[in-house]
């Protein structure tokens, strides 16, 4: 039975597609797009999480001051307060990524697409050549997960880290390293 599969124009894109289908990436809430401090403050004070973000950012004002600020969008507050409001707004607007689950890190990956090591270059995952099978449990996922949780795991980074930290850890360096220079890839997780 086939497992979840990611597709993409590169190995990294296919891996990213597969991972995003399994867990929620770090992302910005689309409802948090206000630019003006007053609108940001209004939105923050509408939720308990917003109040917590203001407190965490270091904004400590009396309730009557807060009411004064909210009642007048043209009220002139100090730049340092505007900066704290913006910091709180940015922090509450970002949803952290879910950690990469063990089912991914310990999974068996089947890679289809153009694979080259040394003089051996072939299209894998066809009738003529089986997919490249990688045991994820042998890999070192720390750098990949750190980038993922920070929201900085771009497709090309994912591909590089996956080659160095998972493929090489499982089956070795290959004759002259591993190259994935094709224009379409599928990665199935088993």
Give 153-186 pLDDT, tens digit per residue: 999 999 999 999 999 999 998 767 899 999 999 9
Tokens coding 70: 């909210």
Q: Which of 66, 95, 124 is the last residue of a domain?
A: 95
**Is residue 147 within 8 Å of 126, Cβ to Cβ?**
no
Mean pLDDT lowest among 88-97, 105-114, 162-171: 88-97
Rounded to 5 degrees, what are φ and ψ at 65? -70, -45
> In the listed set 45, 71, 95, which residue is the last one of a domain according to the structure?
95
Q: Are residues 71 and 127 in the same domain?
A: no
Confidence grade of residue 1 (pLDDT, cut at 50, 70, 90): low
Co-location of 148 and 181 in the same domain: yes
Select from 47, 71, 95 the last residue of a domain. Answer: 95
Max intra-chain CA distance, the chain: 75
Contact 88, 145 (CB under 8 A): no
- Among 30-44, 68-82, 145-159, which range has the highest average pLDDT? 145-159
DSSP designation for 96: P
The whole domain housing 163 covers 5-25+98-189
Are residues 132 and 180 located together in one domain of the fold? yes
Total number of domains constituting the chain: 2
């Amino acid at each position: 039975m086939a497992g979840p599969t990611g597709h993409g124009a590169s190995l990294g894109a296919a891996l990213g597609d597969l991972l995003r289908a399994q867990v929620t990436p770090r992302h910005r809430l689309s409802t948090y797009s206000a630019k003006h401090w007053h609108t940001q403050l209004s939105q923050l004070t509408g939720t308990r999480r917003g109040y917590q973000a203001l407190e965490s950012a270091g904004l400590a004002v009396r309730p009557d001051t807060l009411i004064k600020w909210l009642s007048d969008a043209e009220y002139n507050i100090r730049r340092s307060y505007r900066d704290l409001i913006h910091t709180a707004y940015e922090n509450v607007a970002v949803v952290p990524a879910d950690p990469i689950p063990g089912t991914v890190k310990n999974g068996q990956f089947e890679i289809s697409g153009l694979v080259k090591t040394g003089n051996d270059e072939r299209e894998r995952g066809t009738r003529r050549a089986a997919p490249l099978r990688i045991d994820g449990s042998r890999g070192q996922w720390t750098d990949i997960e750190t980038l993922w949780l920070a929201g900085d795991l771009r497709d090309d980074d994912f591909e590089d880290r996956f080659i160095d930290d998972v493929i090489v850890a499982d089956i070795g360096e290959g004759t002259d390293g591993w190259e994935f220079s094709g224009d379409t890839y599928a990665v199935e997780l088993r």
